[in-house]
Chains A and B, each alone.
Chain A
C-alpha cells in the first residue's frame, strides 16, 4: 500500500503541503470528556504528528454513557490513559501520550508546559481557567482553541494573536482575466483573431475571453474610455454580443454573455486587500514574518509595475474553444503570471536584504503561491478572551440582545458565563444535581442579571425559558452535542495548522434547540 492512500480523500482538499503541516503538528488536549475526545479523534484520523492528553480524572460509570473512547474495562482507570490508548488504535502514525493531571493544576503551576505545542485544544474549562490559559498561550505564541459543550448549547472560540493565510481557497471567486484591462500580449492575441471569420466552425470556437476583450475594447473606444456601468449600458453590451452570433448553437457566445459581468468588474484591488497592504505590519523590519515581507513586496508591485493591479493569477477557466486557441491563451496568461512573479520575487529578496535577513530565506514556491493567491490573502486576529469579557462592545451586545435571530445565541453566551460564576460561588453548576432546582434557577437568574448590569446592559434581561433550560442542562455533556462541537473545533484546528481556508472569527455559540447557532463578535 502506498503510505498516502489512506489520506487520499483529504489530500484532495489540502494537498501534500497541508498534510505535511498536519504531520509536523503537536497537539495538546485539555480534558478528555466527549468534547475533547471527539475533537482529537478527527485530528488523529487526519494524521497529526503527536497528541498529548491532559486529564486528571478517573473513568466513572456516567462517562460510559457519553464517551466512545472509554468502555466497561476502563472504569476506575485514568481517563487520559484510556482515551489515549483508543485513539492510538485509530492511527499508528500518530505519537500519542497522556498526562494524568488536572489541566487546572498545569495552568496554575506549570505555565511553560504549554509552549512545546503547535495548538492547545482546551475543552470544558470554566472562565477563570480560560482567561489564565489564554494569557499563557498568547505569551508563548501557541495557538489556542476553546471548545465547550453544555446541555444543548456550547461554544468554540479561537485565540491566536495573528493568523495569516495565503491559500484561503474560497469557493467562488472572480477569475482574474483582465478583460477590460488587457496587457499587450493578451491584446495582441485577441487582435489576431477575426470575430467576423466566415467559417462557422472557427466562429463558434473563438474563446469567450477573446470575444470579451475585443468587445470591451470596442465599447471603450466609442464611449470615451468608459466601461458599461449603468444597467442599461450593461444590457446594451450584452445585446451587442448577441448580435455577433451567426448561429443559435454558439456556446462560446452564450458563455461570453454569461461572463460579461467580468468585463464590468472594477479594475484594481479589493477593499479587503487594500486593508492588508495598509496594515502597519506591512512596514517590515527584521522581526517581520515571511507573510508580511511578501505583502510589502506586493504593495510595491501594485504601486509600480502592477499599475494598481496584483500579479496575475495565471489560470483560466474552461471555456468553449478550439484546443489550439485555448492552449495558446493559457500560455499567455501563464507567461504574464510568471513575469509578475519574478518582479515580486526580486522585490521580496531586496526587502529581505534591506531588513538584514538572508535574501533567499523565503522559498521560491512560497512566493509563487503568494502571487497566485494575492487577491485572496487573509489576516485573522483574535483579541484576548479577557478583554472581551471585561470590555465587550456594548453596542454589539445590545444589538444581539434585541435581534430575534441572535437573542437565543447571545442569551446562551451570557448564561455560559453566568453558570461559571455560579460554580465559582456555590461549588456546583446550576442544576448539576437533582433537587434544589428552584433555588438554582433564581441564583442563575440573579447572576445573569448582575452580569448584564456589569456589562452595562441595564434593564435588558434574558427570557425565563432560556434560564430554566440552562438549569435543566445541569452541565450535562451530551454525546451528540460534544461530537458537533468537537467536529467544529477539529475543523478549525485543521485550518489553523494547514494555513489553508479561513478559520472562524468571533465566538461561535451553539444553539442545539433549533440549530440557529451564531458567531458573535463582541470586541
Chain B
C-alpha cells in the first residue's frame, strides 16, 4: 500500500528532487541532501526587479531556493503596476529591489532576499563571483552585455585552451516585448554567450536627421524633431529629462506645431512618450511565461533534475502560439567568452602605459579602463576614494604589480567604443611578459 508522505512545504518539488529519473542531467543525485543543499548553499542573483525580475523572485523562492539577491537601480512608477505584481500604488517612488525583496520574504517564509538598490556597474566583480547562477530580467542590450562580460570574466581556460568547468558562471536570460519573448541558458565556455549572438538584437533604427529637419512624413518624425533638434535650439544648455513631465509636454507641444505646419496627422501625448522614451509595450502574461521558463532552467542547472534547454527558446503569441528551441553555437573567436585577448608586454611597462595601450588596441578599444588582478584593484577610475588609493600604482611596472608572474589574466573595465557607440564593458586580458618564458626567449633570438 502506498504511503502518504508527511506534510511538507516541499510536497511537490520533492517528487522531482528526491526520486530518481530517466530524462535527467548527468550529475543528478536525487535525495534529501540535494533538496537541502539547494536551500542551504545555492545562491542566485536576480538582475533587475521589473516585470521579469518580480516574477523571477517569486518563481525562484517557490522553486526550492532560499538565498536570493536582487539588484536594480530603478524606483517604482505607476506604469509598472499592470505587471510588476509585487508593487502597490503606495509603493510608487520607492526602490524596486527593496520592495520586491520585502514582499516575497513576507509571503514565502524561510526565504532570504538581499536587495541592492544600485547600478550593476556599481558593484565590483567580486560581488558577482559569489553567486552560483545569475538570472537576468533586463530590458536593455547594454546591461545584458555588461553582466555577460562579468560572468564570462570568471571563466578560465586550461593549458590546452579548454574551459575549466569549475570557473563557469551560468546565466539564464529572459526578454519580452508585447506577446513575444525569449528565454535562454548561457553557460560560458559551453553555450554561446550573449556577445557570441549579439546579432540576435539588431540595433535600434534611428531616423536620419535630414528627414527630421527637412522632410518629416509622420508623427514620429515630428516628435523626434522636437526632441532632438528643437530642444537644443531653443533650450540650449539645459539637458532634456524624459522623466520630467514639463519637458515631455514641451516636446509634445512643439511636435504638434510641426505636424500642423506640414499637415501630418497623429501626434498624441502618448505617442510622444512612446517615441521619446522608446517605450516597449509589456504585459503580465508574457513576463510570467518567460520568467517561469528561466526559473525552471535555473533549478535544472542547480539540481540537474531534468535535461536543460539547449539553448534558446522563443515564444510568440501574436498569431496562435509558437514556441521554438534553437541550438545556437559559440563564436570561437568571441572576445568575451573566449580565452581572452592575448597581450604581450615588456616587464618594464607601467600600469599607466598599459591602460593607454588598451585604448589604442584595435580589438579592445577600451578607454578609461580600471584594472583588477584576481579581485585586487590595481587602478580604479572611480569612486574618487579608490582612485586616490590606487593612483600611486600607475607609475609602477605592471609586472611587479602582478607579483612577477609571467603569464596571467587581468580584467579591464571601462568604456567600450563600438560602432561609434559607447557603453560600459569588461574585457578579459591574457598578459604574457616577454623575455620571461625561456622558450619565448629562444624563439625571439632565433627569429631575430
**Interface residues in chain A, defined as those with a beta carbon under 8 Å from any beta carbon in chain B:** 1, 5-13, 34, 38, 41-42, 45-47, 60-62, 64-68, 71-72, 89-90, 151-152, 168-171, 205, 318-323, 326-327, 428, 431-437, 440, 464-466, 468-469, 472-474, 476-484, 486-488, 490-492, 494-495, 501-505, 508, 512-517, 519
Contact = CB atoms under 8 A, between A and B. Distances in A.
B11 A61 contact: yes
Given A10-B281, A321-B215, A323-B216, A502 B22 contact: no
A516 B8 CA distance: 32
Interface stretch (B123-131, B320-328, B394-402, B428-436): B320-328
A446 B75 CA distance: 57
Given A327-B263, A476-B12, A491-B286, A66 B321 contact: no
Contacts of A503: 320
A323 B3 contact: no
Interface in B1-59: 1-5, 7-13, 15-16, 19-23, 55, 58-59
25 contacts: A5-B78, A6-B79, A65-B12, A68-B58, A170-B319, A171-B316, A171-B318, A171-B319, A323-B215, A326-B215, A437-B19, A468-B22, A474-B15, A479-B295, A480-B292, A483-B289, A488-B317, A492-B321, A495-B317, A503-B320, A512-B306, A515-B309, A515-B323, A516-B325, A519-B320
A490 B62 contact: no
Given A12-B281, A65-B9, A151-B16, A480 B63 contact: yes
Given A46-B284, A65-B8, A488-B285, 9 more contacts: A6-B82, A8-B270, A41-B85, A72-B109, A169-B318, A432-B2, A472-B15, A479-B12, A501-B319
B243 to A, nearest CB: 14
A9 B177 CA distance: 10
B274 A504 contact: no
Interface in B279-310: 279, 281-289, 291-293, 295-296, 299, 306-310
Counting from the closest, the 4 A-B pairs by CB-CB distance are A62-B11, A487-B288, A487-B289, A479-B62
B421 interface: no
A487 B286 contact: yes
A169 B284 CA distance: 19
A13 B23 contact: no
The main secondary structure of chain B at its interface with chain A is loop
Interface of B: 1-5, 7-13, 15-16, 19-23, 55, 58-59, 62-63, 78-79, 81-83, 85, 88-89, 106-109, 178-179, 211, 215-218, 262-264, 270, 274, 279, 281-289, 291-293, 295-296, 299, 306-310, 313, 316-321, 323, 325
Contact of B320 (A9, A205, A322, A502): A502
Given A1-B78, A45-B83, A468-B21, A483 B292 contact: yes
A472 to B, nearest CB: 5
B291 to A, nearest CB: 7
Given A12-B274, A61-B8, A65-B8, A473 B319 contact: no
A165 to B, nearest CB: 10
A481 B289 CA distance: 9
A66 B62 contact: yes
B109 A476 contact: no
Output the residue of B109, B279, B284 with the most chain A CB within 10 A: B284
B62 A491 contact: no
B320 A513 contact: no
A433 B3 CA distance: 6
Contact of A65 (B11, B58, B289, B296): B11
B253 to A, nearest CB: 18
A473 B16 contact: yes
Which of B88, B215, B307, B316 has the largest count of A CB atoms less than 10 A from its CB? B215
Nearest to B294: A480
Contact of A502 (B215, B217, B270, B319): B319
B351 to A, nearest CB: 47
Nearest to A173: B319
B217 A68 contact: no
B289 to A, nearest CB: 4
A432 B313 CA distance: 30
Contacts of B320: 502-505, 519
Contacts of A502: 318-320
Contacts of B107: 68, 71
A248 to B, nearest CB: 16
B83 A62 contact: no
Contacts of A326: 215, 217
Nearest to A6: B81
A10 B82 contact: yes
Given A472-B21, A502-B320, A513-B306, A483 B82 contact: no
